[in-house]
Amino acid sequence: MVTEAEEENDINDIKIGDLVKWFDYYAEGDIVRDAGWGLVVRVLGRSQPPLSGESVLYLVHRVHRQGQEWYTRDNIDLIAEGTIKKKA
């Protein structure tokens, strides 16, 4: 059973700097047309951090395609969390 707190963490688990696997689908929606790795460079939602159930978009810099594309949470998987290093 998923609690509300766990559900909210699923929404907020991807952040700027995270390494993700992205998926592009054909119009039918269930056949993968293309996939690859990328870095999240922007997160767009109405509130910061995004609320549970809110539609959130992630701008992903696609490593092998050399471009940026917007994805929903359903079209990306988290591979590794990024770390932000602050200058001393």
- pTM of the entire structure? 0.72
Give pLDDT, residue 1: 36
CATH pick for 4-80 out of 3.30.70, 2.30.30, 3.40.50, 1.25.10: 2.30.30
Give pLDDT, residue 40: 96
pLDDT single digits (tens) 28-72: 878 999 999 999 999 987 666 555 666 889 999 999 888 999 999
- Backbone angles phi and psi of 74, in degrees to 5: -70, -20
Band the pLDDT of 3: cuts 50, 70, 90: very low
Question: Domain locations in the chain?
Answer: 4-80
